[in-house]
């Protein structure tokens, strides 16, 4: 070995001896958690090396080398580090890795070499953060970077369906994050330590579940959490949640097999009611991503919660059936949600699919939804169902309530419908007899909520179930408790009926439609609206009168109905069966169908352009058809007036 080579070897050995000293011996501060920002990761300490054969000391590059970590805590992967070296040979690279492993072993730690890169002078190592000081002082180390997650930059299809991504960022940008709202989740247990929902879920400790099927049933804990964890992630997940700021309170009503009981769910509702006490700062949202056979008791429990100010959202069910046959989906005070796929088709779920019908309020994404998986704290998975769809609507409700804390359930429901996409669902998937009653709306949000939304007049149509075929068959439609019924109409597929009328029952208005003899049954259709300070009354004419008029004063005619109590018993006999074109409202449009044997039909729509002198409010209030009678009959006419 030449003298110069020997000199360099001794110099390197001496430098390594100096660097091997601990932090206390060198007067170095321990490496702590660095704040965000690149400058914060650079270490300023320097070590002087000893020269050999020189008349002066030579200064080494800054030492220790900088440690770089992601400024986003949720993106970090602690314990995995990329060690970047200054340019050198592969032998130097592997030598540095071996020195790190040897020093870790002397300190009772392990440094596991995961990969040596050929693309650049670096290696990947798994080690404790306690070894960072040692690693940062190794020769040839340029810097150490903590490993971190990277993400696809196309947002999940379901979030893009709720709020169209902004061209500038391509990100999901709701009007707010639902920060002011608490969501009560009645589901399986939840893995609250998952990265998506960590710090957002409070496990209440409530549990009321049936025993698992089978004497020796055993399920991993992660499987018991799977449904609840995924739904919680859709609600409030950091990366895949609809309302990332909403807080969740978890109540366990489903066991590891996803089964619960009506009584257990009612106990959970009772527990929530006790927790709420006085009316909260913002209305709480209750999410029931479950369904069972129609239960009057469960419906009554949900109705009780809704009438105390809670917003109750439920899954329509995954049985490809009429949602009115299931609970809590069949309860009118519940916001019931069906599921659609990325093409806005009704979601097929296993061998069945989403429920449908008049008890569904709207649809939402519920197919192939990416969300938190309970398999590990950073795992994701895709699940499908009306549970996922209901979670989307509960998240949207949290956003809307955070913007308007005083919204009633009726006002919230109508805002959900207003911001939804209309005529988006392919109704050919539904049975023919359910297509008219099933709403054609997919939940959504604007990027900004319009100002003055509380003064808007918003309406929806509520269909009854079909009347029987008996001579005196009746169908009854009712609005929610905080809605105003502003018109009443009827529909019969045979275009025959005895009209409809409004009546007050137990303090609430209802729309009653009358079936004609030998008809095919009739539907009653109530037009249900919310408008602050509107007071309405029914004016009914006598059978001999020409019509009904508005009361004196500042009243606005919002709807009219007609019906007769007479019936014809034989075809061609003198009676009163009316053959009026069926008329019904779809969103803000009035639709009339032709009478069999007739070539035309006409509809009359009554729209309100201003109310109390406030311009800009427009909604369809009444939808009636031009009727023609087979004979002169005595009819009663009603007019609904509002002030």
Q: pLDDT by residue (tens digit) across 577-607? A: 444 556 667 766 666 655 555 444 455 555 5
Q: Are 536 and 569 members of one domain?
A: yes
Mean pLDDT of 85-105: 79
Considering the domain architecture, whether residues 496 and 557 belong to the same structural domain is answered as: yes
Q: Above 50 in pLDDT, residue 212? A: yes
| Position 137 confidence tier, pLDDT thresholds 50, 70, 90 | confident
Same domain, 225 and 348: yes
Q: What are phi and psi of 490, to 5 degrees?
A: -140, 160
- Asked which of 473-477, 493-497, 615-619 is least confident by mean pLDDT, the reply is 615-619
Whether residue 103 sits in one domain with residue 208: no
Partners of 610 in beta bridges: 615
How far CA 118 is from CA of 87, 90, 91, 143, 440, in Å, comes to 12, 8, 12, 17, 56
Same domain (yes/no): 527, 552: yes
| Range from 85-89, 117-121, 472-476 carrying the lowest mean pLDDT | 85-89
- Dihedral of the CA atoms 406, 411, 417, 420 (nearest 10)? -20
Question: Lowest-pLDDT range, 64-78, 152-166, 533-547, 603-617?
Answer: 603-617
More confident residue, 21 or 235: 235
**Model confidence band, residue 519 (pLDDT cutoffs 50, 70, 90):** low
At 230 the three-state DSSP class reads: helix
pLDDT over 80 (residue 423): yes
Using DSSP's 3-state secondary structure scheme, residue 442 falls into strand
Mean model confidence pLDDT for the chain: 77
Q: Of 387, 402, 487, 625, which is the active-site residue?
A: 387
Q: Cα dist. 581→468, 584, 589, 594 in Å?
A: 20, 10, 16, 5
CATH code of the domain containing 545: 2.60.120.690
Residues 6+ apart with CB under 8 A from 272: 184, 251, 284, 286, 305, 310
- Which residues have CB under 8 Å from 290's CB, separation 6+? 186, 187, 253, 254, 260, 265, 314, 315, 387
Q: DSSP code of 628?
A: -
Q: Is residue 164 one of the residues assigned to a domain?
A: no
Q: Which residues pair with 505 in a beta bridge?
A: 508
Q: 273 with 328, same domain?
A: yes
195 and 297 fall within a common domain: yes
> Which one of the listed residues 65, 133, 147, 187 is annotated catalytic?
187
Paired tokens of 508:
């609430």
| Residue 55 covered by a domain | yes
For residues 322, 325, 331, 336, the Cα torsion angle rounded to the nearest 10 degrees is -40
For the stretch 238-261, pLDDT in tens is: 989 999 999 999 999 999 989 999
pLDDT of 327 over the 90 cut = yes
Domain containing 88 — which CATH number?
A: 3.30.70.80
Say if 163 falls within a structural domain: no
Distance CA 9, CA 11 (A): 5
* Residue 116 shares a structural domain with residue 182: no
Domain membership flag for residue 410: yes
pLDDT in tens, 17-66: 334 434 333 333 333 333 333 333 333 333 333 333 333 333 444 457 89
Residue 9 has pLDDT above 60, yes or no: no
CATH code at position 261: 3.40.50.200
pLDDT of residue 169: 64
Q: How many angstroms separate the CA atoms of 593 and 185, rounded? A: 44
Q: Which of 227, 501, 514, 563 is catalytic?
A: 227
Report if residue 165 sits inside a domain.
no
Say which residues have a Cβ less than 8 Å from residue 76's Cβ, sequence separation at least 6: 69, 70, 146, 148, 149
Does the pLDDT at position 270 exceed 60? Answer: yes
Q: What is the pLDDT of residue 588?
A: 66
Q: Would 614 be classed as within a structural domain?
A: yes
Average pLDDT of span 458-470: 86
Max avg pLDDT among 24-33, 77-86, 276-285: 77-86
CB 337 within 8 A of CB 316: yes
Examine the domain organization and report whether 500 and 371 are in the same domain. Answer: no
Q: What percent of the chain has pLDDT over 70?
A: 67
154 lies in a domain? no
Which residue's entry shows tokens 């109705």? 303
Q: Is residue 481 part of a domain?
A: yes
Per-residue confidence (pLDDT) for residue 570, from 0 to 100: 43
More reliable by pLDDT, 42 or 492: 492
Measure the CA–CA gap between 80 and 113, rounded to whole angstroms: 10
pLDDT (0 to 100) of residue 594: 55
Calculate mean pLDDT across residues 347-369: 95
Give yes or no: residues 333 and 192 share one domain: yes
Show the tokens assigned to 246.
């909403």
Q: What pLDDT is stored for residue 634 in this prediction?
A: 42
Tally Cβ neighbours within 10 Å of residue 245. Answer: 17
Residue 193 burial by CB count (10 A; 0-12/13-18/19+): exposed, middle or buried? exposed
Domain span at residue 549 reads: 457-642
Closest by Cα among 524, 567, 527, 563 to 543: 563
551 is catalytic: no
Task: Indicate the pairing of strand 201-207 with strand 247-252.
Answer: parallel
CB neighbourhood size of 605 (10 A): 16
Please check whether residues 430 and 470 belong to one and the same domain: no
pLDDT tens string 391-421? 999 999 999 999 998 888 989 999 999 999 9
Q: From CA 63, how far away is CA 28, in angstroms rounded?
A: 11
* Counted domains in the chain: 3
Q: Is 187 one of the catalytic residues?
A: yes
Q: How far apart are CA 508 and CA 478, in angstroms?
A: 8
Is pLDDT at 544 greater than 60 in this prediction?
Answer: no
* Position 161 pLDDT exceeds 70: yes
Give yes or no: residues 493 and 620 share one domain: yes
pLDDT interval class at 373 (50, 70, 90) = very high
Report the range out of 175-184, 215-224, 268-277, 529-538 with the highest average pLDDT: 175-184
User: Which residue, among 365, 480, 511, has the nearest Cα to 412 in the 3D structure?
Assistant: 480
């Amino acid at each position: 070995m030449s003298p110069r080579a020997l000199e360099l070897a001794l110099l390197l050995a001496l430098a390594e001896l100096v660097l091997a000293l601990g932090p206390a011996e060198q007067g170095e501060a321990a490496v702590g958690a660095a704040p965000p920002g690149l400058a914060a990761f650079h270490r300023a300490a320097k070590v002087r090396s000893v020269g050999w054969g020189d008349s002066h000391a030579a200064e080494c590059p800054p030492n220790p080398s900088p440690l770089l970590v992601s400024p986003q805590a949720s993106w970090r992967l602690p314990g995995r580090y990329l060690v970047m070296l200054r340019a050198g040979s592969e032998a130097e690279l592997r030598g540095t890795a071996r020195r790190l492993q040897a020093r870790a072993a002397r300190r009772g730690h392990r440094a596991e070499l995961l990969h040596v890169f050929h693309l650049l002078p670096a290696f990947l190592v798994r080690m404790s953060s306690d070894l960072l000081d040692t690693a940062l002082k190794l020769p040839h180390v340029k810097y150490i970077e903590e490993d971190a997650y990277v993400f696809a930059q196309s947002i999940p299809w379901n979030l893009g369906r709720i709020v169209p991504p902004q061209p500038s960022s391509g990100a999901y940008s709701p009007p707010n994050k639902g920060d002011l709202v608490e969501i009560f989740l009645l589901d399986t247990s939840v893995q609250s330590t998952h990265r998506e929902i960590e710090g957002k879920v409070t496990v209440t400790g409530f549990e009321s579940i049936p025993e698992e099927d089978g004497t020796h049933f055993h399920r991993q804990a992660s499987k018991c959490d799977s449904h609840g964890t995924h739904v919680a992630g859709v609600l409030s997940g950091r990366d895949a949640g609809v309302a990332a700021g909403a807080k969740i309170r978890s109540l366990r009503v489903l066991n590891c097999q996803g089964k619960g009981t009506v009584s257990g769910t009612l106990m959970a509702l009772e527990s929530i009611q006790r927790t709420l006490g006085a009316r909260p700062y913002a209305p709480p949202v209750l999410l029931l991503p479950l369904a069972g056979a129609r239960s009057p008791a469960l419906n009554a429990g949900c109705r009780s919660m809704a009438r105390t100010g809670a917003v109750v959202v439920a899954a329509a069910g995954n049985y490809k059936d009429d949602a009115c046959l299931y609970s809590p989906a069949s309860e009118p005070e519940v916001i019931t949600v069906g599921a659609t796929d990325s093409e806005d088709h009704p979601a097929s779920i296993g061998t069945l699919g989403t429920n449908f019908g008049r008890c569904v309020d709207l649809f939402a994404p519920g197919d192939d939804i990416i969300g938190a998986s309970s398999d590990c704290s950073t795992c994701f998975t895709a699940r499908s169902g009306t549970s996922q769809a209901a979670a989307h609507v509960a998240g949207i409700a949290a956003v809307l309530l955070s913007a308007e804390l005083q919204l009633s359930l009726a006002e919230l429901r109508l805002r959900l419908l207003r911001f939804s996409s209309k005529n988006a669902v392919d109704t050919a998937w539904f049975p023919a007899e359910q297509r008219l009653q099933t709403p054609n709306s997919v939940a959504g949000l604007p990027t900004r909520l319009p100002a003055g939304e509380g003064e808007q007049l918003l309406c929806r149509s509520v269909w009854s179930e079909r009347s029987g075929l008996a001579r005196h068959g009746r169908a009854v439609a009712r609005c929610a408790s905080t809605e105003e019924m502003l018109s009443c109409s009827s529909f019969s597929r045979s275009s025959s009926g005895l009209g409809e009328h409004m009546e007050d029952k137990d303090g609430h208005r209802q729309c009653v439609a009358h079936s004609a003899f030998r008809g095919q049954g009739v539907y009653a259709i109530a037009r249900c609206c919310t408008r602050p300070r509107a007071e309405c009354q029914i004016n009914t004419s006598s059978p001999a009168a020409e019509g009904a008029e508005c009361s004196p004063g500042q009243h606005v005619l919002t709807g009219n109905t007609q019906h007769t109590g007479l019936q014809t018993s034989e075809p061609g006999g003198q009676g009163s069966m009316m053959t009026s074109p069926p008329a019904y409202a779809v969103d803000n449009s009035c639709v009339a169908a032709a009478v069999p044997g007739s070539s035309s039909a006409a509809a009359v729509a009554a729209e309100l352009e201003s109310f109390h002198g406030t311009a800009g409010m427009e909604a369809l209030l009444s939808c009636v058809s031009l009727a023609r009678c087979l004979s002169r009959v005595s009819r009663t006419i009603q007019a609904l007036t509002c002030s």
